[in-house]
Amino acid sequence: MKKRYKGKLFGGSPLLFILDCDGVLTDGMIPRRFNIYDGAGLTMLMQKGIKVVIVSGANSNDIQVRADELKLTGCFLGIKNKEIIVKQLIESNRIYPYEVIYMGDDLNDLNAFEEVGIKIAPRNATKEVKKHVNYITNKKGGEGAIREVCDLWLKKL
């Protein structure tokens, strides 16, 4: 059985949490369902000065509405090449890749993983994605996976 955790998850001081939406912040179903505990975890991270950004291939008003409700740092929708946005976020925030966590669940997240120091996938991510991450959550996307990561991160701070 593959270990869920490889190495030191929060060895440095992460400053930016970038996440996919469908299958990570939601359960991947339409209509989208967001978990309130995930939102509370993201709010606690932001209160500690951590920036939180959604980068999604989908272009949907309900994702933007949720990002606005949570007062996230940013929300990029309809993004086909997430790697470009991740590079721009690292550069514009003047941070190092090892200070960034990216959480994704499908093949379109693989290029973005290459740009960051900490790669995380929810339990229901594709097998290919799970091969490339540092940590696989115990919870599924939309069912508390983000809160699990937030709680681990907050223990470190």
Burial of 42 (0-12, 13-18, 19+ CB in 10 A): buried
Instruction: Give which of 124, 92, 126 is closest to 18, Cα–Cα.
Output: 92
The burial class, CB within 10 Å (0-12 / 13-18 / 19+), for 117 is: middle
Domains of the chain: 16-156 (3.40.50.1000)
| pTM, rounded to two decimals | 0.91
Percent of the chain with pLDDT over 70: 91
pLDDT one-digit tens code per residue, 19-73: 999 999 999 999 999 999 999 999 999 999 999 999 999 999 999 999 999 999 9
